[in-house]
Amino acid sequence: MKLVTFQTQSTNTLPKLGAWIDGDRIVDLTEVAADMSQFFEQNCIADAQGYIERTDLSDAAVPVADVQLLAPFPCPASLRDFGVFKTHMDAAARITGKEISPEWFKLPNYYRGSTSPSSIAGHETLVTWPNYTQKLDFELEWGVYIGKTGKNISVAEASEYIAGYTIYNDISARDIQFRHMTLALGPAKGKDFDNSNIMGPCLVTPDEIGDPYNLRMIARVNGEVWADGNTSDMYYSFEEMISFVSQSETLHPGEFLGSGTVGKGCGWELDRWIQPGDVVELEVENIGMIRNQIGEPEVNPAEWTEKGL
């Protein structure tokens, strides 16, 4: 099943839960669950399938073109972004001149990203160009949402906790990111700004994803292919990531785990940089495509310009 959170084009409408069917229609699932969180907390997949089967879709379904697709979970319970693609790590080592830490091959590494409502965005949302960066970047990633509560989960049972998969564009302000990371506390404002975590266009449940570790991933900028990779390059599986995170820590429905960037899946690796007005499209096989335009740079207050931001 492909699930979405959407708004109709009319003003001031609340987000709704829906199912994406037949490639171009959305069925409102409000009668099944109020939102994505309730859908998975109450295990409503069978109810949703039954509702779709008995509903007159000529009246209940609306064209995808007539709605705004939000992130599947507009306010995920948490966001952990890993770095599990070996080719990307090799590129980072080459660019920085630093070898991959031996610990990378023993422990999956991640940072916690922002889940504020202003940072989470969906398909066709205008990307914020922060007022403090000269090098804005896209990142071709994907990820999973947790579907039920669990703790100390084994790798063997971890697949049972995957609600579904989505595409993830981890927008990054590279210049300030690398400055912040010299302070040993993480990317900070390199990742935290409005519309910096773009997810969608839908959540695809595991039964429809096929083999998750053999899916093509493509990034296009203004229609030109910049990156073409495959999920088979993941050194750690999502099951391993889920198991690792859950050790002595309870996971809850709606938490998000990102894969990190596929090899050559960002401008930093390619030394090619997106510009205001560019259109970035990220595609993952069996999920779909998210498309976003890059906005104009915002104005930096004088006091932070003087301090070197």
| Torsional sign, CA 128, 187, 307, 95 | negative
| CATH 3.90.850.10 domain span(s) along the chain | 78-306
Residue pLDDT, tens place only, 248-270 = 999 999 999 999 999 999 999 99
Total-model pTM: 0.96
Question: Given this model, what pLDDT does residue 180 score?
Answer: 84
**Comparing 57 with 158, which gets the higher pLDDT?**
158
Question: What is the model's pLDDT at position 300?
Answer: 77
A 10 A CB-CB count for 194 gives: 20
Of the pLDDT bands very low, low, confident and very high (cuts 50, 70, 90), residue 302 is: low
H helix count then E strand count, the chain: 8, 19
What CATH number is given for 78-306 in this structure?
3.90.850.10
DSSP H stretches of helix in 197-274: 238-245, 267-270
d(CA 19, CA 52): 9
Q: Does residue 132 register a pLDDT over 70? A: yes
Rounded Cα distance, 259 and 8, in Å: 31
* Minimum mean pLDDT range among 33-42, 131-140, 173-182, 269-278: 173-182
**Residues pairing with 258 in the sheet:** 81, 143
Lowest mean pLDDT among 48-62, 104-118, 265-279: 48-62
Average pLDDT over residues 32-54: 96
